[in-house]
Structure 1
Amino acid sequence: MNTLFSPLQLGRYTLENRLVMAPMTRSRADDDGVQSELAVTYYGQRAGAGLIITECAYVSPMGRGYVRTPGIQTDAQVAAWRQVTDAVHAKGGKIFIQLWHTGRISHPSLLPGNALPVAPSTIKPSGQSWTPAGLQDYVTPRALELDEIARIVADFAAATRRALEAGFDGVELHAASGYLPEQFLSSGTNQRQDSYGGSLENRARFVLEVLDAMVAEAGGDRVGIKIAPEMNFNDIVDAHPQETFTYLVNQLRARKLAYLHVALFGTPVDYHGLLRPRFAGAYLMGGGLDQPRAEAALAAGRADAAVFGAAFLANPDLPERFRRGASLNTPDPDTFYSPGPKGYTDYPLLNGTTAA
């Protein structure tokens, strides 16, 4: 029986345990997308996870969607991330970086030259964007030209290369939460009539081309992908999600990825049961788990590792708390995205001190 504390082979790495820290936007970078020294402390505190997957890093200035989020393209960004990976590795941890392009989930005030956000099609999302001036309504995006799509694929390849320069053990493609990869994948946001739209095969083309570009840089055993079927975040919708995600995961087998990260939030469909048998690498289960549910999923063979979000956010020593059956700190939602150390690096350890 696989428990949370047994080793796991994930791609080329052997993880010491099966607790994975989820990618969580924390909005502590500066206006140039450079991580602060606080991030070094934050990730280093949580190096007891079997694997850390960082918050998203944008792959190009046009991929930025929120204030104070980090990038992974400039020398300064890479140097700051290098301090993070050094801190995690010094404590024996493993760390992957999540790569994203937000597509239409952005605002001109966040983009170079106040440009319009880009997307597969000119469909305005409902909702508002966090901008330097506060919440503002989303705008109607501009549809990408074919040559621009190829350049974005190249941006993901370059970001993967830069991530390895920064010392990351691997990279994860964020293909969930209504950002650009899922915008291409989903029928409700992709109304193109060219080779990237229409059929399911065409709608999946962008995601698979991006993965291929990332694999070419890092090798499949250092690449993962996150999906969240029917999460419907950021006004994303697909007419036939079971068919869509079955097709996508079927295409992953030949690419020999390190892992598939599937986060579920309230859907009645058992996507874990549907998708796990179709994937050959490590299967990471996420979405509102606690320790008993995670242990049960591993014991039943429904997953290889369990992904924890807010629990890791508020408990730097989460693995040790689970080992001891200790109580957990309560996350403070008011500080999830606020600048500074409060609610970021000041959650106490079991002994009452703050982790260094």
Structure 2
Amino acid sequence: MKSQLTNELSSKPHYPILDGLRGIAAIIVVTFHIAEPFSTGNLDKLVNHGYLAVDFFFLLSGFVIGYAYDDRWQKTTVGTFFKRRIERLQPMVVLGMTLGAIGFYFTDSNLWPLIHTVPVWKVLLVTLIGYTILPVPLSLDIRGWQEMHPLNSVGWSLFFEYIANILYAVWIRKFSTLALSILVGIASIALVHLAVTNGDVSGGWTLNVEQVRIGFTRTMYPFFAGLLLSRIAKPTQIKNAFTWCSLLVALILYMPRIGGAEYLWLNGIYDAVCIIIVFALIVYLGASGVMQSQKENRICKFLGKISYPLYMVHYPLVYFYVAWISNNKGITMGQAWPYALLILIGGIILAYISLKWYDEPVRKWLRKKLA
């Protein structure tokens, strides 16, 4: 059954433009984190809406999961589904946490003054918990940023990705299109409430009630809206879709803050409209897109392949960058840009090396072991 499912999944038409868009968003996430140390808060971040890339990833993921599995459940099992998700996601989770642990004591900074007082056993414990993608309690917050995963900050979104996958496989895949539409409608109301009352949807990476609520709210709408879109959308043939969709993703994520401190709700409306309407439109256009050339196809393929590794390995590098900026008070973005560019290029190179020398071989090995 496993080999039959693999053959059937691989025989389905692929959406290379969606892969390319995932890569574009991953690169923008890196620029978001690189620019973040020069802000005093959400109001003045240079890449102000970079956090919305996570919501875009969730919607993409829901669409792709629905497209790949929604009509396969008579031929597969929940266990097989989870094996395939573990095979796809977990190797890079392990590598990302390992890189974070290796670099932990070397990111000495006044931001994290207690790093060198953390015993090795505690770092190893946090690393082992990180390998499972389960969040660590605040008592094990060894960096002091109140992160679920203090060795690799981005792990929080993978935690919620797994929850969405579990909900889908165990329960929500059985929903009719009408029931799924009702769920998505309710989730959209919760998302709008969060965005408008908070002024944005940023958050979800701390293990407390409020942040976990934000994480669930950010996950439920886009993931299951993507699933719904995979059921009801009928892709057409659209030219230059990759170019226009890439520009639209960049425009949304690089958009400056809207409304300022006096009108936080305006930015919340912007976030909600982007997630609920615009991201769904982008995914539909991307799925409908026609490759314009072999070169465009190769670009999309490359961006798609490095997108997940880049997302999972860049933040251990960012810790070094943030520590350097913190230890050099008064440095400006104009002075730091060569180092920022080095982090961006180095992250892409590290992602490609991780893909070829680690992720693909390990996934191939896991595929045989879990078959």
Structure number with the higher strand fraction is 1
For the criterion TM > 0.5, the same-fold answer is: no
Greater relative contact order, per chain length (Cα 8 Å cut-off, separation 6+): 2
For the pair shown, the structure with the greater C-alpha radius of gyration is: 2
